[in-house]
């Protein structure tokens, strides 16, 4: 019997050339676009415990958003991220069925490889 659950993705945009407010604006723009997709939920990540080296503005981690998507729509979201974030540095954490995968990408080629890893991870879960 297969167990289908939602997939949680945490996306951290990393751009050292932008200040905290510019990174926050970039994350909010991405969030708005993600909400237009068929996702269960999408939100900025609230500060509950600030990891070392992280910045926060207004109670949210700078440049970090989290989304939850059904398994059926997971590939669509990854395709969107590939198109939208192809030349940006990001950290992507994928969580499904109690397992987590964390990957980093700082170029289009690395992002494509990270997305492939995420797809294989979900298919193997």
Each residue's pLDDT tens digit, 79-104: 999 899 888 899 999 999 889 999 99
Which domains can be identified in the chain, with CATH numbers?
7-124 (3.30.70)
Q: Report the predicted TM-score, pTM, of the whole model to 2 decimal places.
A: 0.82
The answer to whether residue 114 scores a pLDDT higher than 70 is yes
Task: Estimate the share of the chain in helix, then strand, then coil, as percent rounded to the nearest 5.
Answer: 40, 35, 30
The rounded radius of gyration (Å) of the Cα atoms in the chain is 14
Q: Is 74 exposed, middle or buried (0-12, 13-18, 19+ CB in 10 A)?
A: buried
Token output for 6: 């939602």
Answer yes or no: is pLDDT of 7 > 90. yes
């Amino acid at each position: 019997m297969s167990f289908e659950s939602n997939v949680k993705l945490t996306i951290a945009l990393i751009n050292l050339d932008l200040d905290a407010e510019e990174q926050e604006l970039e994350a909010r723009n991405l969030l708005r676009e993600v909400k237009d997709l068929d996702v269960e939920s999408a939100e900025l990540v609230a500060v509950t415990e600030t990891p070392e080296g992280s910045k926060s503005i207004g109670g949210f981690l700078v440049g970090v958003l989290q989304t939850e998507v059904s398994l059926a729509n997971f590939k669509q979201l990854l395709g969107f991220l590939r198109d939208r974030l192809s030349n940006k540095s990001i950290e992507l954490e994928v969580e499904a069925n109690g397992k987590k995968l964390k990957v980093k990408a700082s170029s289009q080629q690395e992002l494509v490889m990270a997305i492939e890893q995420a797809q294989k991870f979900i298919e193997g879960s």
